[in-house]
A and B are shown apart, each in its own frame.
Chain A
Amino acid sequence: MIKHKLIYLVVLLPVSILWFSCSRISEPCFQPLNVYVSVGTYKAADTGSTGLDSVLPKAVLGYPNNNMRVYNGVKANKFPLMQLSPQQDSLKWFISTDSTYLGTDTITFFYNRNLTFLSRTCGYTYHYVIQGVKYTKYNIDSVVIKNGNIDGTANIEHVKIFY
């Protein structure tokens, strides 16, 4: 009788082994830990806010305060890897259309930083909301913030630069 009853109890054994195995699988962080500002360059049009893509022949983009170049002489019109600083409320970029640095412009962004919880495995990161922008006009015609929420959402262009 006891032996027969033990069958009921043994049913749980594979379940418990499976549960324990799953519990021991560590959870890696698959989310991106940094968010980026996506920039596009355009030819200014009469409407002001729309424009044709403007490929920069040897674009140089970076941050003057640490003299870091994110793009260094690339031929492109999309620059998706620019960042804002989690340690400041404003940040200056430099942007040159070619590597001669003639007519290098600077763009200063003013923004709010929001500490954002990602997950238990990835912890926290900063998201940003751009509040304003100032820029020089050696080569740049205008800068438009299309979407000021820098939160890691894919396929969004945040800043349009018109030449």
Chain B
Amino acid sequence: MSKYFTSILFLLLSIGAFAQDDEDDMPSNKPVSSDSTSQLRLGFDISRPVFNALIPEKKSYEIELDFYGKKEIYYVLEGGWGSGKLDSTYLRYSNSNTFFKAGINKGILQRLFPGDWDMAFIGLRYGIGFINRSDASYLIVDSTWGNSSGIIPGKNLTAHWFELTGGVRVELFKGLFAGWNIRGKFILNGKQLKELPPYYIAGYGKGDKASIFDFNFYLDYAIRWKRKHVKTIAPKED
């Protein structure tokens, strides 16, 4: 588990280093926050269709929706669907699932100006996946007694996990963002999945792994509106 914490920390520190460069270039008298605007952002993970084409035994599609509250807290909902298929000498089965995640992101960069929505963040998620595993056919190879085979009946399973995540979103054009998340994922009910685990759980990863490293690359579109009765925080003075 510690290796994921370390990896995420390392990447976030590198983001922080970029951010520091930006701050050095900017005048010191700058606003620190602007909570007068709300933002709703919808994104689609554009890396998944690419990997779906390259790795045919795994398929997943993921979308995200986040809402800016205040104090650099974003409320996040994510969801998607996918499937996995194992076709080996010893075992043959498939599974499909939908998943949902909820959590928050905390922006860790200071805004450079009130309309600055570029962000680096760290976050937490709780994830749940509803899995349908097909009948599995197995083959036991035995040179002494001869091969034997059989069918394990299909099953509906539920997976729970939590995630530590970090990443960036940059506004390339007005309202259009690109960015990525790296994720350390940790299964919460691994014992229930131990007996013939799903080959691939969309939203999580390999069903037989207790922890997973993963990433997403999102394209997002945001809409913004002014809030009523919101105090604007005054700029800091040196």
Contact = CB atoms under 8 A, between A and B. Distances in A.
A binds B: yes
Interface of A: 2, 5-9, 11-12, 15-16, 19-20, 23-24, 29, 33-34, 63, 66, 68, 83, 85-87, 115, 117, 119-126
B73 to A, nearest CB: 21
A86 B140 contact: yes
B173 to A, nearest CB: 8
B150 A19 contact: no
Contact of A124 (B138, B170, B179, B194): B138
A34 B142 CA distance: 7
B144 A83 contact: yes
Interface in B150-176: 150, 152, 168, 170-172
12 contacts: A2-B172, A5-B118, A8-B118, A8-B168, A11-B15, A11-B168, A11-B180, A19-B215, A23-B51, A86-B140, A120-B197, A123-B88
Contact of B145 (A6, A83, A121): A83
A120 B168 contact: no
A9 B119 CA distance: 12
B90 A86 contact: no
Contacts, number: 93
Nearest to B120: A8
B233 interface: no
Interface in B165-221: 168, 170-172, 178-180, 182, 194-197, 199, 208, 213-215, 217
A87 B145 contact: yes
Q: Which of A7, A121, A123, A126 has the most CB of B within 10 A?
A: A123
A123 B140 CA distance: 8
Contacts of A9: 168, 170, 178-180
A115 B136 CA distance: 13
B208 to A, nearest CB: 6
B197 A12 contact: no
B39 interface: no
A70 B89 CA distance: 27
B18 interface: yes
A2 B118 CA distance: 12
Contacts of A117: 194-196
Contacts of A20: 51, 54
A34 B140 CA distance: 9
A23 B57 CA distance: 11
B148 A87 contact: yes
Given A33-B140, A124-B90, A12 B217 contact: yes
B11 to A, nearest CB: 7
